[in-house]
Amino acid sequence: MNYCPGCGLARPAVADVNYCPGCGGSLNPAAPIHANLSGWWPRAGATLLDGLIVMVLNAPTLVLALAVAAGGGLHVQTTVAGHATYTLSHEMKVVAVIAGLAYLASALLYAPLLLRREGRHNGQTWGKQALSIRVVRDSGAPVDLGTALLREVVAKLVILTALGFVPIVGGFASFVWYLWPLWDSSNRAPHDMIAHTHVVKA
């Protein structure tokens, strides 16, 4: 029995099936992956959904920080000149650091750890899974941790954040970056080009 080189799923017995029902990858060299590309709206929806999921994952530390702040951890004092000054208690500083580290860890690890899953959900975050799309490597190999980190952390966080500090054009960097698939011939964003990936229908 033959198996999909992308996700390992058994290939359908029907001879004219060109794309894997599990990962969306091409099963036929004559049927390029471009014919099965995801549109921009599912990609945008998955990105927004993943952002909401990361926020929900961080809800406990956020609630803790708000509780400590309301309990006196954040003291606001108005000066004679009418300016407000803020003083953080030691507990508030500790909670703020914990909340910040928790958010950073989830933002860095959420997508890479999910994308590198084995089997039928390889290349999918929970957002992409809900929108029935997935990331596939141009080589046809499954998405591994290295590819996921390159795409999600190096490209999206490090490079895009650095572009944000470029004078004049920096403010438009994220806007142009995420709209790029609209005019790219193979619906890729810059992070797809950097990681040699495409986003396809699952």
- The 10s digit of each residue's pLDDT in 7-44 is 667 766 655 566 666 666 666 665 555 668 899 999 99
**Closest to 201 (Cα-Cα) out of 101, 111, 123:** 123
**Closest to 198 (Cα-Cα) out of 25, 42, 19, 20:** 25
Average pLDDT score over the chain: 84
Indicate whether 2 belongs to any domain: no
Average pLDDT over residues 94-122: 89
8 A C-beta contact, residue 30 and residue 17: no
Indicate whether 15 belongs to any domain: no
Share of the chain above pLDDT 70, in %: 80
Indicate whether 23 belongs to any domain: no
Indicate whether 4 belongs to any domain: no
What is the pLDDT confidence band of residue 66, given thresholds at 50, 70 and 90? Answer: confident
Indicate whether 21 belongs to any domain: no
Indicate whether 148 belongs to any domain: yes
Q: What is the pLDDT of residue 16?
A: 58
Per the structure, the complete domain to which residue 125 belongs is given by 33-201
Each residue's pLDDT tens digit, 111-160: 999 999 988 899 999 999 999 999 988 877 889 999 999 999 999 999 99
Q: State the total domains in the chain.
A: 1
